[in-house]
A = this chain, B = another copy of it.
Amino acid sequence: EPKQRGFRFRYECEGPSHGGLPGASSEKNRRTYPTVKISNYVGHARVEVQLVTHTDPLASTRTAWWAVHCTENGTCMVDVGPNDLTASFSNLGILHVTKKSASHDRRQPINTQHLRSTESSILKEAKELGKVMDLNIVRLKFTAYLQDSNGGFTRALKPVVSNAIYDSKSPNASNLKISRMDKTCGTVLGGDEIFLLCDKVQKDDIEIRFYEEDEGGWEAFGDFSPTDVHKQYAIVFKTPPYHSAEIERPVTVFLQLKRKKAGDSSDPKQFTLHPSVQGKPRPF
């Protein structure tokens, strides 16, 4: 399986070799790659990769929105067997096809040929489609072909489809990250104003989640409105109150950025809550 987040799709103009798509279990020092294995078979086989939409992976798309880029052999297939039937794709790139060039490639549908279907109207259609499709999420589709008696790879097996891959450059799928905060502690009563610097977020699809890992799973959310999100890169918010105002000593909790829609979140930061004395914050 490929890693779902953190990989950036590239445009053709950016050139090749910005690194290949890593596997889900890939790490800094031990890179892995998307890999498929043909089971219950001995012999030669060929495995091909294609990119498909994440919502409807088995439908064939009329337009090519992406291209796979295999820097090693220029094509997107590998031959395996006869003993090891494992195909590993170590240098898969995902190329964005621009809306402009996608509309170039389009064939005119027959039933509209009598209309004046201009370049720009096709382009517009491409954009409409892009809106409902989310071109920033793809899946890999692997199709294996077994060798037939003539030596040709004609016996196609049922394709398998990977999990979804999100373009890390896309604003709704980029890696969430908290870079810096002006305070890392506040009072148990909440209401402390915090300036938080972060990687790109979308002001209507972001929340700041405070939580405790153990015991019952307390969670609460930072208080801010979309206008408190500054240019997608900073958030000014107020801390929420802790579940209990009566604590004897400081309590350490966590906070993280979290997308409302996709549900993915950033690495957490620690935050320390101090007791308040008679409802008033104590200096700390």
A: residues with CB less than 8 A from B are: 179-180, 182, 193, 195, 197, 199-200, 230-234, 236, 283
Contacts and interface: CB of A to CB of B under 8 A. Distances in A.
26 contacts: A179-B230, A180-B195, A180-B230, A180-B236, A182-B182, A182-B193, A182-B195, A182-B236, A195-B195, A195-B197, A195-B234, A197-B230, A197-B231, A197-B234, A197-B236, A199-B231, A200-B231, A230-B233, A230-B234, A231-B231, A231-B233, A232-B233, A233-B233, A233-B234, A234-B234, A283-B283
Given A179-B230, A180-B195, 5 more contacts: A182-B195, A230-B234, A231-B233, A234-B234, A283-B283
Count of this chain's copies in the oligomeric assembly: 2
A230 B235 CA distance: 12
A179 B232 CA distance: 14
A110 to B, nearest CB: 31
A42 B232 CA distance: 57
Contacts of A199: 231
A231 B174 CA distance: 15
Contacts of A182: 182, 193, 195, 236
A175 to B, nearest CB: 14
